[in-house]
């Protein structure tokens, strides 16, 4: 259960947010709410959390507010580890975000041969 206002997650059984009194919604509803019209758009999906965090870090360093939604959740019966991770940005930022992502991808292709550091 999540407060759509504070974006805090609460354990099951709690019906409204102790902070602001807003009725809590399920994660699904919350994500649906975020995916809805006005604000957030999905600019990229992947199945690797590390990859997603990498994109997020890059977007945020460009001052783009970024949100990662993962369906890797025990409420979602997923096959193996194949969870979809969505990267969302505000609609206004979508274009610049896509440019950054494209840039990352082309760089990644160029350096692929050299392998990953870590
Ligand atoms: Zn709240």
CA 16 to ligand 1 centroid distance, Å: 8
Q: How many domains does the chain have?
A: 2
Q: Do 31 and 65 belong to one domain?
A: no
CA 26 to ligand 1 centroid distance, Å: 13
Q: Do 67 and 21 belong to one domain?
A: no
Range of the domain at 43: 38-114
Structure pTM? Answer: 0.58
Q: Do 78 and 103 belong to one domain?
A: yes
pLDDT per residue as tens digits for the range 3-16? 888 888 998 889 99
CA 73 to ligand 1 centroid distance, Å: 22
CA 2 to ligand 1 centroid distance, Å: 8
pLDDT per residue as tens digits for the range 32-89? 666 555 678 889 999 888 999 999 999 999 999 998 887 655 555 555 555 688 899 9
Q: What stretches of 7-117 show up as alpha helix (H) in DSSP? A: 27-35, 49-61, 94-110
CA 15 to ligand 1 centroid distance, Å: 11
Angle of CA points 66, 86, 47, to nearest 5°: 125
């Amino acid at each position: 259960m999540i407060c759509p206002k504070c974006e805090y997650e609460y354990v099951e059984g709690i019906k409204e947010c102790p902070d602001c009194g807003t009725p809590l919604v399920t994660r699904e509803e919350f994500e649906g709410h975020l995916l809805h019209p006005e604000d957030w758009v999905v600019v990229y999906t992947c199945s690797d959390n590390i990859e997603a965090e990498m994109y997020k870090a890059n977007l945020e360093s460009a001052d783009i507010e970024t949100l990662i939604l993962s369906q890797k959740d025990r409420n979602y019966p997923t096959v193996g580890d194949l969870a979809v991770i969505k990267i969302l940005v505000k609609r206004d930022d979508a274009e610049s975000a896509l440019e950054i992502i494209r840039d990352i991808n082309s760089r990644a292709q160029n350096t692929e041969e050299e392998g990953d550091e870590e």
